Amino acid sequence: MVQPTDLLPHRPPFLFVDEVVEVEPGRRAVGRWRLTGEEAFFAGHFPGRATLPGVLMVESLAQLGGIAVLADDRFAGRLPLFGGIDRARFRRQVAPGEVLDLEVTLGRLSARAGTGHGRASVGGETACEADLLFVIVDG
């Protein structure tokens, strides 16, 4: 199976996909982010009640979407960048020690841009959903 770093330029501490479970190039991807509790952001968000920041949930979905795009040979050597985030909803807090299950389905995809819908969940319970817009630039 593909490793996130096989396709993404992201590296720790800004890599938020630990495992790619499934990928259909140019169509969809499923992955996981295991939150150990050792991540630096938990210390300040929030002291006494550590919670994964919502923006990082959206970033993890975008990274997984990037994997789905970059797995498609048409986009080798390119880089998908955020173009927009629509209808983001946060429905559940995510705590240290939990596993965030990620799924992104791509919509429209052209040589220069694309869309996708992502869902992050814990134990089948939705934590975050968002529509993503991205532009594709030379790498």
Active-site residue list: 45
CA distance to 42, 102, 133, 134, per residue, from 52 (Å):
7, 14, 23, 23
- Which backbone phi and psi does 8 adopt, to 5 degrees? -85, 145
Rounded CA separation 62/117 (Å)? 9
Of 15, 114, 3, 86, residue with least CA distance to 56: 15
Rounded CA separation 54/49 (Å)? 14
